[in-house]
Amino acid sequence: MPRAAISPLDRPAQFLKSVGPKRAEQLARLGVRSARDLLFHVPRRYEDASTVLPIKSAEPGMEATLIGEVVSKGVILTRPGLRIFQAVIRDATGLIECAWPGQPFLDRSIRRGDLLLVAGPVRKFHRRQIQPREFIILGRADEAGDARGVVLPIYPSTEGLSQRQLRAILEANLDPLLEAIAPEEPFPPAQLRALGLPPLREALELMHRPASLADAERGRRRLAYEELFFLQLLHARAHHRATLARAGTPFVRTDALIGALYHRLPFRLTGAQTRALREIFADMTSPRRMNRLVQGDVGSGKTVVALFAMLLAVESGYQAALMAPTEILAEQHARTLRRLLADLPVRVVLVTGRLGAAERREVVQALAEGDAHIAVGTHALIQERVRFHRLGLAVVDEQHRFGVHQRRALAELGERADVLVMSATPIPRSLALTLYGDLDLTVLDELPPGRQRVRTTLRGPQSRAKIYEFVRGQVAEGRQAYLVYPLVEESEKVDLRAATEEYERLRTEVFPELRVGVVHGQMAGEEKDRTMRAFAAGELDILVSTTVIEVGIDVPNATVMVIEHAERFGLSQLHQLRGRVGRGAGASYCILVTDGEGEAARLRTFVATEDGFEIARADLRLRGMGDFFGAKQHGVPDFRHFDPEKDDDLLLRAREQARALVASDPELTAHPAFRDVLVSRYGEREKLYDVG
């Protein structure tokens, strides 16, 4: 609901009970500047103290949660450079040593007499020891009381502000803040009851004062639903404007071109491709505009699906455009389309910044007069004032490389062009619906039969000499290789091998007899493209690179992908890199080099499967939403409560409800409260989607 002009929740945090100026500065570092911020500063996790073991029962080899008073502590030096903070804790049943290797600074925050909750593996050294993965200072042992059986909220915190202090501030202010938030409930009671969710006031109390983990989860799901509903409402309005508010072009299928291509394909379409085409053709032959995302793994056949869609437009008397993020990828698409359309009366033209003046004039004229049927290009399609005679379908490849503005600009080169966007970045369906909720979703979840498996192995740094010999052997057989590094230049702060330094070493010391090139994101675009083209043409044997090759280079002759410091990459990013090999007839290999022992289990998950969707799910579980996408990636919603592993049901209901609401009330005239929340939360994105 709209906020009152002056609400108790807008009160500065400094004037709340138990805060004051110094605490207010600490809270501000957490983004807590008002009473409202404090109320919504919900726990990031919980410790269930009902699972606490007596210290005497903690046996080596088990995972344990223990509570005890710190009776001694100190920092010890075990070997040059390694300092370990140790504390001994005691309960009524006995003593145990706690050890934090490499964390001597804890000596400043953990004091004798503190009551400590620790959780982690129990091991046997000279005596029993627990190495805590998590720990909480519950307070002073003589003041904290018995924490057993209590669900302890663990809040995002900052230096100088302990969990005990945060909990005390919340407890001193929670009741009046909950009273003040009650009138701001945005949902009708019936809507929440149908979903089995509590009202906002109750949800917040359940999160701050849970009697059980199930209580805390009920509260979290209520806040997650609110996040999802308003994001889906934003998407539903964008989808309505894109597909229904303006009439589309009802294409007429004659099969003059579609049938001819189908019968000359050198392979059979997969079931997933057939299903995708059924959905796309249904959109294109309907009166509404298509606005659809085709999401598929590397090699799932998205380009062929897009080509059939483009042929439906062409055989209906329209033109089609395909926009790719790089010139090399655009050139590859143009070659593929021309090869598949050989001897068919379809002219494919290429539009990139590399065109000479005379060639550009010819291409622009052919598109303007309708003599060219399909244009394949980069952002030059929208930047260089290309005019189409009758554009009916706009296709955007590698959609995550383009913004909403660019997608819309391409579609607007035609009066009522349908839009098809493609992504080779597999993400779980729940995330696809949150990120691309303005699009209808088609998933290609099947790879063509007979596609070669890339043999993937995990190796330590001691294996580099053997790896280099293997690469040399592959090159001797006429193959090529990628060597990928996480950094461009070496850093004093991070001990990692960097692409530019390694390129010089590899070129002069390791492979002096071979042709070695380097590409990275800090190179000028022209120089980078020149090197990548040389590799694609077989003029280089080895390409040293950062992740700039993740998308946009297709070299069937490349059979080896060596990824240094593999622990520094997300699993989904590793999958995209691995997809650069295995594109030809030769056996292909992906070799991960890592000395990060703690990352071995995560990387073994990647080695075990080539299913991009399964890898993405594992990546999401391991890294969480923020790290999965990158903290600042454009367009990624700032979810604080939504959990894609648990909330798929809420997402589907929110999407269904939002679309039904917009279908009956596109401008939310009858729902002003929803409209106010939408504008306050997503004002800038409303402008971006042009749904204001």
- Which CATH superfamily includes the segment(s) 455-629? P-loop containing nucleotide triphosphate hydrolases (3.40.50.300)
Helix axes 327-340, 525-536, angle to 10 degrees: 40
Q: Say what the pLDDT of residue 383 is.
A: 76
- Locate 167 and state its tokens: 């909990």
pLDDT-derived band of residue 463, with 50, 70 and 90 as boundaries? Answer: very high
- The whole-number average pLDDT for the span 300-308 is 93
pLDDT in the model for residue 279:
97
pLDDT, average across residues 308-314? 97
Between CA 505 and CA 490 the distance in angstroms is 13
Question: What is the model's pLDDT at position 220?
Answer: 97
Q: Which residues pair with 12 in a beta bridge?
A: 34
* Predicted TM-score (pTM) of this structure: 0.74
Q: Does the pLDDT at position 494 exceed 70?
A: no
Tokens encoding 36: 């409202």
For residues 340 and 257, give the distance between their C-alpha atoms in angstroms, rounded to a whole number: 12
Instruction: Rank 465-474, 529-538, 642-651 by mean pLDDT and report only the highest.
Output: 465-474
With a cut of 50, say whether residue 33 has pLDDT above it.
yes
Q: Quote the CA–CA distance of 241 and 689 in Å, as a whole number.
A: 9
| Chain mean position to CA 438 | 18
pLDDT digits over 345-393, tens only? 999 999 988 888 889 899 999 999 999 999 999 888 887 678 999 999 9
Q: List Cα–Cα distances, 688 to 24, 191, 238, 241, 629, in angstroms.
A: 35, 29, 10, 12, 20
| Per-residue confidence (pLDDT) for residue 25, from 0 to 100 | 94
Residue 307 CA to residue 320 CA, distance in Å, equals 9
| 3-state helix, strand and coil shares in percent for the chain, rounded to the nearest 5 | 45, 20, 35
Residues of the chain with CATH 2.40.50.140: 48-154
Identity (one letter) of the amino acid at 345? P
At residue 81, does pLDDT exceed 90? no
* Length in residues, the chain: 692
Please state the CATH superfamily assignment of the domain spanning residues 48-154 in this structure. Nucleic acid-binding proteins (2.40.50.140)
Calculate mean pLDDT across residues 121-126.
Answer: 86
Structure confidence at residue 489 (pLDDT): 63
pLDDT at 578 > cutoff 60: yes
Q: Are 313 and 251 in contact (CB under 8 A)?
A: yes
**Rounded mean pLDDT, 393-422:** 80
Residue 686 has pLDDT above 70, yes or no: no
Question: At 89, which helix (H) or strand (E)?
Answer: strand 82-91
Has residue 632 got a pLDDT over 50?
no
Residue spans in the chain of domains classed CATH 3.40.50.300: 258-444, 455-629
**359-363, 441-445, 597-601, 656-660: which has the minimum mean pLDDT?**
597-601
Give the Cα separation of 302 and 397 in Å (integer).
9
4 band by pLDDT with thresholds 50, 70 and 90: very low
Strand-strand pairing, 480-484 and 542-545: parallel
Q: What was the pLDDT predicted at 136?
A: 81
Reading the block at residue 246, the tokens are 């303006």
In angstroms, rounded to a whole number, what is the distance separating the alpha carbons of residues 517 and 515? 7
pLDDT at residue 139 in the model: 76
Residue 47 has pLDDT above 80, yes or no: no
Closest to 290 (Cα-Cα) out of 324, 318, 260, 256 = 318
When pLDDT is cut at 50, 70 and 90, the band that residue 210 belongs to is very high
Residue 529 has pLDDT above 50, yes or no: yes
Alpha-carbon span 67 to 568, nearest angstrom: 35
The amino acid occupying position 125 is F
Q: What is the mean pLDDT of residues 127-155?
A: 77
Confidence at residue 633, expressed as pLDDT on a 0 to 100 scale = 40
Residue 95 scores a pLDDT above 90: yes
* pLDDT score for 475: 96
Distance (Å, whole) CA 286 – CA 249: 8
- Mean model confidence pLDDT for the chain: 86
Given a cut of 70, whether residue 446 has pLDDT beyond it is yes
Q: Report the distance separating Cα 309 and Cα 261, nearest Å.
A: 12
pLDDT band at 411 (very low <50, low <70, confident <90, very high): confident
Lowest mean per-residue pLDDT among 106-110, 431-435, 602-606 = 431-435
Q: Are 480 and 543 in contact (CB under 8 A)?
A: yes
- Please tell me the predicted confidence (pLDDT) of residue 560: 96
- The answer to which of 137-141, 196-200, 542-546, 556-560 has the lowest mean pLDDT is 137-141
Fold designation for 1-44+167-179: DNA polymerase; domain 1 (1.10.150)
CATH of domain 258-444: 3.40.50.300
The set of residues, in sequence order, having a beta carbon less than 8 Å from that of 481 and lying 6+ positions away, is 471, 474, 475, 541, 542, 543, 558, 559, 560, 561, 562
CB 593 within 8 A of CB 460: yes
pLDDT at 685: 60
Q: Residues spanned by CATH 1.10.150 within the chain?
A: 1-44+167-179
Per-residue confidence at 447, pLDDT binned at 50, 70, 90? confident
Question: For position 432, what pLDDT does the model report?
Answer: 75
Share of the chain above pLDDT 90, in %: 49
Q: What is the mean pLDDT of residues 3-25?
A: 85
Q: What percent of the chain has pLDDT over 70?
A: 89
